[in-house]
Structures are given as C-alpha cells and as structure tokens.
Amino acid sequence: MSDFTPTEMMTVAAARALTNDDVCFVGIGAPSAACNLARLTHAPDITLIYESGTIGTAPTVLPLSIGDGELCDTALNTVSVPEMFRYWLQGGRITVGFLGGAQLDKFGNINTTIVGDYYKPKVRLPGGGGAPEIAISCGEIFITMKQSLRGFVEKLDFITSLGHGTGGTDRADHGVTTKGPTRLITDLAIWEPDPVSKEFTVTSLHPGVTRDQIQETVGWKAKFAETITETPVPNAEELQVLRELHARTKAAHEGQLG
C-alpha cells in the first residue's frame, strides 16, 4: 500500500501534527478528515470539537456539515453555540484550530467571503462562520489547503480570518495574544512561519515534489527554509484507516445530496 495520492499525503501530514493531548476545533472538509484520522490512529484521546457545540465527538463517518447528526450522536456532550464560543473558545480552552479557506496569503490570512470587489463580487463564498473567532482564540492554528494560483494569492480580496496580518508583530500589535497559524499543510509541502517576518516558509517537501512545483502553484515568491526535509510517506495503517473512513462516508451519504 505504498501508492498514495497528493490529497492523502496532505491529510496524513496534517493528522500527524496533532497529539493525544490536543483539544481541537475542527473545520468541515479536509480539516475534519485529518483530525479524525489522528483520532483513529496515533491520538485516540484527542478531543474533537465542532462549531455546532459537540464536544469529544467521535464520528464513524465524516460529517456533511457542522449540523450533521453524526456529530451530536457520537459526542460526549453537546452545548449551545453561545456557550461553545464564549466558554470554550474565547475562554482559551482549545489548543488547536484547524482551518481551510478559498484564498490564503503568505502571512496565513484567510478569505472565505468574496472573490473580487466586495460590492460586485465575481464569486460570493459561504462567509466566515466561526472561523474569524477560531483564528484569534485558539492556542494555534493549522491550515490545510491544496496549492493553486487561484487559492494562494499575493493579496486577498477580503480578510475573513486573521493570520499574521501584514507580518512581523502585526498580529500582536492588534492585541491578539494567541500564536496564530503555526503550520500550513498542503498537497505539496509543509510550511511554517518565519520566526521574525511570519511569512510562510517551506520546511518540508512531500515525496517527489520540486521547488519549481511549489513556485508554480503560489501567487508570491515562495520562501524556502535553509534546511528542507522530505515528508515521510504515509504508512500502511494511515492509508488503510483513511481510505476506510472515506469509504464509510461515501456509503453513508450516497444519494443524500441527489
């Protein structure tokens, strides 16, 4: 089971960033797959929290949305959304927030609001939901996204969720005391913010990926660490558990959206 897709590599690399002790605020989609893979492999005691108020959820299939009944059915507890945000999130009780987005810049700012002019957008996106609050209230943020020129842009059309702002001390200068984005996991590489400038920097290339491929899929001049490692390939257990999770999800949701 050595063959794997770029998406599987991204999901496995993201899952490995989580630990047994984490209390993780999970986004729908790629973040949900990564967090549940971690729970089903090396981090069985991780606490997964979804925006709808489910705490310690352990879904057997990936949820379609934060309102999916699977989350409430498998949670240790479900609280109201105001309690989730005020007591848990703003109370500093969540160690990691896992986010994705439509657009991302080199400082980890995220856009999920509009593409184009705000008043006459080319595309109107789903909006922020809880992501803006997650971005500033969780201890740190992991971002998972596939690299593309459309998604990785020099300048965002709208900043929905704060990353490191304009870089340097800008985040802290706005009174935000949490770490912000500490890791960006893509289908090609792992990026981490430069300690001083806070610009995302490639620290690990996935197997077979070149620097040229990185540059061709981001809208700014990519920065590379002085020493770059190669991301370890997914092992047999990680791939089997991930594929079985997706197979269960597909079987459970087949025809529900028709």
Token couple for 223: 């920065």
Residue among 8, 51, 70, 199 flagged as catalytic: 51
Which DSSP symbol is given to 161? B
Q: Hey, is 39 helix, strand or coil? A: helix
What's phi and psi for 195, nearest 5 deg? -55, -30
Q: How far is CA 121 from CA 110, 116, 128, 193, in A?
A: 17, 5, 16, 30
199 is catalytic: no
Q: How far is CA 254 from CA 2, 58, 126, 194, 197, in A?
A: 28, 21, 24, 43, 46
What amino acid positions are annotated as catalytic residues? 51
